[in-house]
Amino acid sequence: MKHELVKVARPDAVVGIDLGIKTLADSDGVPGAEPNPRHLDHAQKQLRRAGRAVSRRRGPDRATGQQASKRWEKASQARNKIHHRVANLREDTLHQTTRLACKYGTIVVEDLGVAAMGRNRRLSRRVADAAFGEIRRRLTYKTRRRGTRLVVADRWDPSSKTCSRCGAVKTKLPLSMPVFECDNCGLVLGRDANAGHNLVALAARTTSTAAAGDLDLATAKSKPRGADRKTRVTCPRRKDGTGRAGGAIPSPRAGKETGDRQQDTGAQLALR
C-alpha cells in the first residue's frame, strides 16, 4: 500500500535533536525538552519481585526432562506481563517522533555508536531502554513518508564540544558536566541545547540534491577507522610450482606413501 505525502506544518523550518539518557531528546527550535521516561528503571522493583517468585517454583529442566509446575507457569506469565507492559510503553514513547516529522521540514540527528555505548556496564541498561537507534530508524521512514529531509551528522562531529556562538572546540567535555561553558566568548548554555544549535548550523551548511528523506552525511562519507572496510583480505591461492622451495610441499603422509610405491616398483623390476 502506497502512502500519500502529507504536508508538514513548517516545511522551511529546521530542528536539531540531541539524544541523551537524562533528557531523551533536546532540540533547538522546540520549547522545552523531551524527558526520558525510563520505563525499565521504574519497573525494576516489580521485575525483581516477579523474578524471585519464578526462582522459587519448580521450573523445566531439559537435562532430566522435568516439566514445569503450574505455579511456575503462573509466576512466569506474571513476569512476562511486566516486560510486555514496559515494551508497550517504550513503543508509545518512540512513536512520539511523529510530531517532529509532521511539523518540521528538516530534522538533524546524530549518528550515535549505540553498540559501543552498550558495552559500558554502567549505562548499557539505560542506553538499551532509551533505544537511540530505533528513534533514528523511525525518523528515517517518517520523513520519507512526508517528503521531508533527514540529515544525519557524522559520528565524530564534536557537536557537544563546539561553542554554538564562536565555534571554539573544547578538548574535553565529560558527561558529568551538563552545562557548556565557553572559555573563548563566555557562553553558558545547556549541553544538549548547545548541541542542538550546532546540529541546526550543520543542516544550513549541508547542501544536498538528493530526494527528500534521504540520509545526507551518513551514506555519503565513509566512516573512519576502517569501519566500512574489510578487516581481512583473502590472498589468492598459490599455484603449484611457485612455492617457497620451488614447488608445493607434500604432506609427510603423502611422501611416505610415494616412497613406498617407488620401493615396490624397484623391487618388481629387480625380480624381472
Q: What is the pLDDT of residues 116-156, one digit of tens each?
A: 888 988 889 999 999 998 999 999 999 988 888 899 888 88
228 is catalytic: no
Q: Does residue 103 surpass a pLDDT of 70?
A: yes
- If one counts every other C-beta atom within 10 angstroms of the C-beta of residue 9, the result is 10
Mean of pLDDT over the chain: 78
Catalytic residue (one of 26, 28, 34, 110): 110
- R_g of the chain computed on alpha carbons: 30
How far apart CA 171 and CA 136 sit, in angstroms, is 28
Lowest model confidence (mean pLDDT) among 124-128, 161-165, 250-254 = 250-254
CA–CA separation, 68 and 60 (whole Å):
4
Helix (H, G, I), strand (E, B) or coil at 240: coil
Catalytic annotation present for 18 = yes
Contact status, residue 130 vs residue 36, Cβ threshold 8 Å: yes
Mean pLDDT across 241-249:
52
**Cβ(233)–Cβ(167) under 8 Å?**
no
How much of the chain, in percent, has pLDDT values that exceed 70? 71
Enumerate the H helices of 95-207 as residue ranges: 98-103, 114-117, 124-130, 132-146, 191-205
Ranked by mean pLDDT, the top range of 3-17, 57-71, 107-121, 219-233 is: 57-71
Angle (CA) 97-100-104 rounded to 5° is: 155
Q: With 0.85 as the threshold, say if the pTM is over it.
A: no
How many residues are there in the chain? 272
- 158 pLDDT band, cuts 50/70/90, is confident
* The C-alpha cell that represents 8 in the structure block: 508538514
Q: Would you state the pLDDT for residue 26?
A: 75
Ramachandran class of 172: left when φ > 0, alpha when ψ lies in -120 to 50, beta otherwise: beta
